[in-house]
Amino acid sequence: MEDTNRKILYRGQCIDNDDPLRLGRIRAIPKTDNITNIEKADEYVEWSYNDPFVYLPLLPFFINTPPREDEYVHLLYSDIDKKQSNDRFYIGGVYSSPTRVNKETYDSSVSNLDFGSRNKKFKDLKGIKEIKGVFAEPGDISLYGRGNCDIIIQDNTVVIRAGKNKNFNRVELPVKNNKRAFLQLSKFDQKTSYSEPEQKYVFKFDDSNLKKLIEYDIISSDDSGNNIVGAIYIYNLSQKNGVKASKMSFSRKIESIDKSLSTIVNCGINGQPMSMKEFTNVVKETLNNLIDKSSLSGLVNEDTTNISIVGPSRFDAGNMFPLYYRFEPTTYNNLTKSSTSGKIKVNSLMSLIETTPSQPNKGYGLVFSKKRESSVPYKPTKEKITSQKTEKIDKSVGIIGGDEIYLLSHQTQKPNTPKKIDLEGTLYKIDENRIADEIEPKTSSMVRGEELFEIIGLIVKYLATHTHAFPGLPPVPISHDGTNVSDILKELLIASEKVLNQKIRIN
């Protein structure tokens, strides 16, 4: 039996929150007491003065956060020896996750308490991009609703939001909704201004994904580093999960799923192993042929009986660059770590291989194009550059947003409507059907001021500069300053969309 004599908070389960007095009281079952004994103690009527399951809110009446039926609550008593007195209080309970606040049963709510230590824990929400901003950040003050509405208070901003996330089921994560309705009030300490855009050339890396990977490998050799049997592998690289040329290195691992073997050049075969110099020459010739010709033609002839090509020997020049060449990494690691002679042998071979003067004695590197650039080149690009500056100010800003916005005055009405908007029965909120039936027909679109002045200015310019070909005749369509009647008519035709904002309405 649980020891309750030393408790401060007691576990409870809400069974009813429909307080007839509207004081925020609830009826709750204390989960640490014998309910049968409490019920037998006295006869009572639910919600009456002697109802032993009625608890008052411990928070002030002005903060109303009643739990829902079956939810967990904290129970408190003024005197634990007199639990049946009317001095019984509750505080809203805990939840296993902020995604469960719509309604969570008692057994699930206790997941983060000792009593619910065996419950499956909900996963962390930190760092999940899809829900970033749905819940308040640490350090901000918030007042949550049970659905998708809340109030967020920061140091210099307060935001009232509705529709902050899309609808989701209990087992799902909420997804943020950028089209939420909101009211934001902010105080800013600086103002940002921008200059007119200027056309300038900027230099950027002309980076792109690697197309080919060439790896040469020593399969066997003697202790002196001669009598080599080796191979040169030519791979096509995936462009879906591509490796940028600027990010490639000698040791970077390319997963097998991201490369496909196209061609193998076998060296030192048919019982005719090669010397170090011969193998080096084959590697160099292979690289040069690929770079200059996109082909291995000429590499094998009647005199080269110890070389064979398995796979295509001609390649699409458009899919050749950038390419990267290197010693096969696994063999390199095995040889250089196994013995000093192995390290000397590999390094001697690599020191003889180069593709560009800028990277001699390396044996590996990037070939960005047929021009043999050993690094990603810069490319001049013409861009519009807008300079930005900030200045210290002290200003307040109010922003209201939503798919549709209605600004209503109790004192005015839209012309030519029989009567003002009737807001009877909307004290708690205005439902969508009231918007469609009553508010939409009795409001008008807001006007965009700058766009309206454009049309007015066009008309005024024409009136001020137009002429008549002869007294009594209509005015000439084009005025002295070039203003055209057809331009005015076009602007008037699109005015309902350009000048009016039909999603922001007033009465």
- Domain map of the chain by residue range? 10-116, 129-194, 212-378, 404-507
Mean pLDDT of 49-73: 93
How far is the C-alpha of 164 from the C-alpha of 147, rounded, in Å? Answer: 9
Residue 426 clears pLDDT 90, i.e. is over it: no
What tens digit of pLDDT does each residue of 250-268 get? 999 999 999 999 999 999 9
Q: What order of strands is seen across the sheet that includes strand 500-506?
A: 405-407, 500-506, 444-447
How far is the C-alpha of 135 from the C-alpha of 36, rounded, in Å? Answer: 41
Q: How many CB atoms lie within 10 A of CB 287?
A: 19
Among 301-305, 338-342, 392-396, 414-418, the least confident range: 338-342
Residue 232 clears pLDDT 70, i.e. is over it: yes
Mean pLDDT of 225-237: 93
Q: What is the largest CA-CA distance in the chain?
A: 113
Return the closest-CA partner of residue 366 out of 230, 229, 205.
205
pLDDT for residue 1 = 47
Maximum mean pLDDT: which of 58-67, 119-128, 463-472:
58-67
Mean pLDDT of 137-164: 92
CB 22 within 8 A of CB 67: no
User: Who contacts 50 (Cβ-Cβ below 8 Å, separation ≥6)?
Assistant: 42, 44
Query: How would residue 32 be classed by pLDDT, with cut points 50, 70 and 90?
Result: confident
Residue 104 clears pLDDT 80, i.e. is over it: yes
Compute the half-sphere exposure of residue 299: CA atoms within 13 Å on the CB side of its CA: 29
CA 69, distance to chain mean position in Å, is 36
pLDDT for residue 250 = 92
Mean pLDDT of 425-449: 89
Mean pLDDT of 211-224: 91
* Fold adopted by 10-116: OB fold (Dihydrolipoamide Acetyltransferase, E2P) (2.40.50)
Mean pLDDT of 335-345: 79
Residue 2 clears pLDDT 60, i.e. is over it: no
pLDDT for residue 350 = 87
Cα dist. 41→34, 50, 51, 152, 180 in Å? Answer: 11, 11, 11, 47, 53
Tokens standing for 226?
């001669």
Query: How would residue 40 be classed by pLDDT, with cut points 50, 70 and 90?
Result: low
Query: How would residue 361 be classed by pLDDT, with cut points 50, 70 and 90?
Result: low
3-state secondary structure at position 300: coil
pLDDT for residue 248 = 93
Average pLDDT, the chain: 89
Mean pLDDT of 496-503: 92
What tens digit of pLDDT does each residue of 4-15 get? 567 889 999 999
Residue 293 clears pLDDT 90, i.e. is over it: yes
Asked whether the CA dihedral 91, 97, 99, 105 is positive or negative, the reply is negative
Question: Is 223 or 150 the better-scoring residue by pLDDT?
Answer: 150
Determine the angle formed by the axes of helices 276-293 and 340-350, rounding to 10 degrees: 40
Return the percentage of the chain with pLDDT > 70, whole number: 97
Question: Is 287 or 427 the better-scoring residue by pLDDT?
Answer: 287
The single residue listed with the structure tokens 């829902």 is: 68
Return the closest-CA partner of residue 259 out of 267, 270, 273, 248.
248
pLDDT for residue 5 = 63
Query: How would residue 445 be classed by pLDDT, with cut points 50, 70 and 90?
Result: very high
